[in-house]
A and B are shown apart, each in its own frame.
Chain A
Amino acid sequence: MAAASTLKNMALCLTAVCLVCSAVVGVAYAFTAAPIAEAARAKTTASIARVLPEFTSEPEQGSVQVDGTDYSYYKVDGAGYAIVSPVSGFGGILTLMVGIASDGTVHNTAVLSHSETPGLGAKCTTDEQFMSQFRGLDPSVKTLAVKKDGGDLDAITASTITSRAYALAVSNAVNVFKQLTQGGQDHE
């Protein structure tokens, strides 16, 4: 039956198992690395297309530091900026892509990644009523906070923290946009 539990046997067995297992994981990684990168890229392009008005030019990637946080963004000529805005949500980092048209209004938002509770905070990716509030929103007219905090946005039912994080992410993106466009004017 089982091999005797001598030190030599145990060490040999564990070493062998670990070697084989790492090899398996390595092969799986090599095999899936390309599809994973492809899936991530397809998602980024789809998100840019979703959050900005129709565009034909190639998005141009860049990054900027605002209030000590690094933001990456995609500049699309004639359409505006798609800004990647990460904040702390309820279950971890919630990363949004916020499309801001050239006139400074929020065109649309999309969730890039989140770890919110399934069925509750995770609704921020599907709740049409909640997401539609950001479409065409003019940050100089409306306050980007949920009503509980004195803002103009309805929160997702039972997910105030997620909604709050979402509003904060959009509001941060607006600040990034301001910095980006002002920085551009300085150069002119």
Chain B
Amino acid sequence: MSKWHFITDGFVKNNPTFVLVLGMCPTLATTTSALNGLEMGLATMFVLVLSNIVISLVAPMVPDKVRIPVYITVIATFVTVLQLLMQAFTPAAYETLGLFIPLIVVNCIVLGRAEGFANKHSVGESALDGIGVGIGFTVSLTVIGIVREILGSGSLFGWKFIPGDGILAFVMAPGAFLVLGYLMVLFNKYLAKK
């Protein structure tokens, strides 16, 4: 049996942003530009894949009552490692994303996949699931970022093609909700048709 569906599931059927509606805090806050959204998505994916792998490995040995503290500790470890790596090698990205990197620890997607998937599946499947959901999250955040950056700043990935300030509301929180809402409608309409 092909395991390909573990990746596509995370991308379409279990899309964390538009279907599961998880991890809304970074989704709304960091998607002010396409690049910010992409970086945030990749950072989350890094933690998601590694924590899924480790949790699927240790889950059989962990007593049931302390499983959540164990998962959170594992996730927090990877987030700290990611934070140090970003500070060392991509200081610019670390600066723009700032406090949203440590906040990945409490991202529902990461704990959700640990609790809902990784602790009952094999290492390989959990890794694929992490990659799938990670890609789903990254693409969703990038798309929201693209729409908000075009409407709000008149640019795309920092490349300005409309002079002037753009519609400021789209850079701010209300624009985030609007764009998220409309994209969610489109995405689910497309899913319903299939």
Residues of A within 8 A of B (CB): 1-6, 9-10, 13-14, 17-18, 21, 24-25, 28-29, 31-32, 35-36, 39, 43, 91, 113-115, 118-120, 122, 157-158
Are B33 and A119 in contact, with the CB atoms below 8 A?
A: yes
Q: A1-B60, A13-B70, A120-B32 are in contact. List 4 more A-B contacts (CB 8 A).
A: A13-B62, A13-B63, A17-B70, A158-B172
Closest 5 CB pairs of A and B: A119-B32, A35-B88, A5-B65, A32-B88, A21-B77
Is B108 part of the binding interface, using a Cβ–Cβ cutoff of 8 Å?
A: no
Please report the C-alpha to C-alpha distance between residue A32 and residue B84 in the assembled complex, in whole angstroms.
Answer: 6
Are B77 and A25 in contact, with the CB atoms below 8 A?
A: yes
Residues in B with CB closer than 8 Å to A36 are 84, 87-88
Residues in A with CB closer than 8 Å to B88 are 32, 35-36, 39
Please report the C-alpha to C-alpha distance between residue A39 and residue B84 in the assembled complex, in whole angstroms.
Answer: 12
Are A24 and B77 in contact, with the CB atoms below 8 A?
A: yes
Binds A, one of B9-17, B92-100, B131-139: B92-100
Residues in A with CB closer than 8 Å to B184 are none
How large, as a class, is the contact surface on chain B? Answer: 35 or more
Please report the C-alpha to C-alpha distance between residue A158 and residue B99 in the assembled complex, in whole angstroms.
Answer: 21
Is B89 part of the binding interface, using a Cβ–Cβ cutoff of 8 Å?
A: yes
Cβ-Cβ contact count across A and B, 8 Å cutoff? 93
Residues of B within 8 A of A (CB): 29-30, 32-33, 36, 58-67, 69-70, 73-74, 76-77, 80-81, 84-85, 87-89, 91, 95-99, 152-153, 165, 168, 171-172
Chief secondary structure at chain A's binding surface: helix
- CB<8 Å pairs between A and B, sample of 17: A2-B60, A2-B61, A4-B63, A10-B63, A10-B65, A13-B70, A17-B70, A21-B76, A25-B81, A28-B80, A29-B84, A32-B88, A39-B91, A118-B96, A120-B171, A157-B165, A157-B168
